[in-house]
Amino acid sequence: MDGTVRDTGGAAAITLAGIGKRFPDGTEAVRDLTLEIPAGELVVLIGPSGCGKSTVLRMINRLIEPTAGRVLLGDEDVTTVDPVALRRRIGYVIQHVGLFPHQTIQTNVGTVPRLLGWSRERVRRRADELLELVGLTPGTYARRYPHELSGGQRQRVGVARALAADPVVLLMDEPFSAVDPIARGRLQEEFLRLQAEVRKTIVLVTHDLDEAVRLGDRIAVLSEGGRLEQYAAPATLLGEPATAFVREFVGTDRAIRRLAVTAISRELLETDADPPAMAAPTLALGTSLYDALARLLVSGAEYAQVVDDAGQPVGVVSRRRILDAG
Ligand SMILES: Nc1ncnc2c1ncn2[C@@H]1O[C@H](COP(=O)(O)OP(=O)(O)O)[C@@H](O)[C@H]1O
Ligand SMILES: [Mg+2]
């Protein structure tokens, strides 16, 4: 490991094989959960409060020991690894990041590399690189203390710290829920860009469906006792809820949410229709149906011209087709 951000050889798949947790007081937080999380994907765990999401997450890094089943990182059973060594290979971000208040941002970010015995110079370089990556210019922020940052900035530092030693897995427990909605939207967007770059295996817990739909490659909907109701891509979850529980959970806005995660595809186009009126909007293939519909409504047009990457017209899309797809 040479400490460069893009040098992310390791993104391990996670296998939860029939895991369960019964606490000493008898509470059965998770009964029997089996879930396969592919390497390099962002999987969201969502479900009502108390359904066992945090318990599942903490069984992956052994902050909680399962009382049943097995957790595999790649093909390695995590119970065979020393828990402290394990946690250094797994980034963990929680709602209130828990930065060390009397340490600078740079020192906070360098925590795990320092524990791993990296040289001072290498730790410092790595911290600066990570701060840059999460959008905090090191020249401005490296020497500051946590209380000199906004809530959103502190969450970014938390993410930088979790990534510092190039972990094979990143666990995030409601990482953005303590920041205000506007900052949250921006953090989510930046986080997607970051993930496109580092391609970690990420398990993110949230109770916010919009966040789940926006961030997740796949979403696992859990009900009480960590029961898996559905595990699917966002568009599938919204379009074809597998159980009554999921249908109720995704609610009545699901058609609109689905438009936001479905792109204009060639199958949706009418290629033999008359060219649309002059005032009609032009949209690129891949535009979300939500944005497409908004453009049509604003312009007053029934049809939009659709163009490919090269800007060549490939057909038209109608309001009707968009609504049917939702
Ligand atoms: N240490 C514990 N001892 C007993 N019960 C616990 C403990 N931690 C969590 N629980 C219970 O386990 C269930 C799942 O908790 P948790 O995983 O925190 O849910 P979530 O993160 O989905 O809100 C809840 O009923 C909670 O009260
Ligand atoms: Mg929780």
Q: Each residue of 59-92: pLDDT tens digit?
A: 999 999 999 999 999 989 998 999 988 988 899 9
Average confidence (pLDDT) over 242-251: 91
pLDDT given at position 7: 37
Q: Cα separation of 325 and 84, whole Å?
A: 49
Would you say the C-alpha torsion 1, 164, 19, 209 has a positive or negative sign? negative
Q: What percent of the chain has pLDDT over 90?
A: 57
Q: Which of 13-22, 43-52, 118-127, 255-264 has the lowest mean pLDDT?
A: 255-264
- Determine the residue of 21, 55, 60 to mutate for testing ligand 1's pocket, defined as the one with the most ligand atoms within 8 A of the Cβ atom: 55
Query: Is it the case that residue 2 has pLDDT exceeding 70?
Result: no
Tell me which residue has its CA closest to atom 13 in ligand 1. Answer: 29
Query: Is it the case that residue 233 has pLDDT exceeding 90?
Result: yes
pLDDT in tens, 303-320: 999 999 999 999 999 988
pLDDT given at position 262: 85
Q: How far is the CA of 260 from the centre of ligand 1 (A)?
A: 33
pLDDT given at position 278: 67
pLDDT given at position 30: 98
Q: What percent of the chain has pLDDT over 70?
A: 95
Query: Is it the case that residue 1 has pLDDT exceeding 50?
Result: no
Which ligand does the CA of 49 lie closest to?
A: 1
DSSP 3-state assignment of 26? coil
The beta strands (E) that lie in the chain are given as 14-22, 28-37, 42-46, 68-73, 76-77, 90-94, 169-173, 201-206, 218-223, 227-232, 282-284, 303-307, 313-318
Query: Is it the case that residue 3 has pLDDT exceeding 50?
Result: no
Which ligand does the CA of 95 lie closest to?
A: 2
| CB 26 near ligand 1, within 6 Å | no
Tell me which residue has its CA closest to atom 25 in ligand 1. Answer: 50
Q: What is the pTM (predicted TM-score) of this model?
A: 0.81
- Determine the residue of 22, 45, 54 to mutate for testing ligand 1's pocket, defined as the one with the most ligand atoms within 8 A of the Cβ atom: 54
Q: Which of 80-94, 192-206, 254-268 has the lowest mean pLDDT?
A: 254-268
Which residue ranges form the domains of the chain, and what is each CATH number? 14-89+167-259 (3.40.50.300), 263-325 (3.10.580.10)
pLDDT in tens, 146-161: 999 988 899 899 999 9
Q: Cα separation of 222 and 95, whole Å?
A: 20
Tell me which residue has its CA closest to atom 12 in ligand 1. Answer: 29
Contact 284, 309 (CB under 8 A): yes
pLDDT given at position 9: 52
| Atom of ligand 1 lying closest to residue 173 CA | 21
| CB 206 near ligand 1, within 6 Å | no
Q: Cα separation of 164 and 187, whole Å?
A: 18
- The whole-chain average pLDDT of the chain stands at 89
Query: Is it the case that residue 93 has pLDDT exceeding 50?
Result: yes
pLDDT given at position 118: 92
Q: Which of 68-77, 115-124, 252-261, 297-306 has the lowest mean pLDDT?
A: 252-261
CB-based neighbours (< 5 A) of ligand 2, an ion: 54
Q: Left, alpha or beta for 208 (phi > 0: left; psi -120 to 50: alpha)?
A: beta
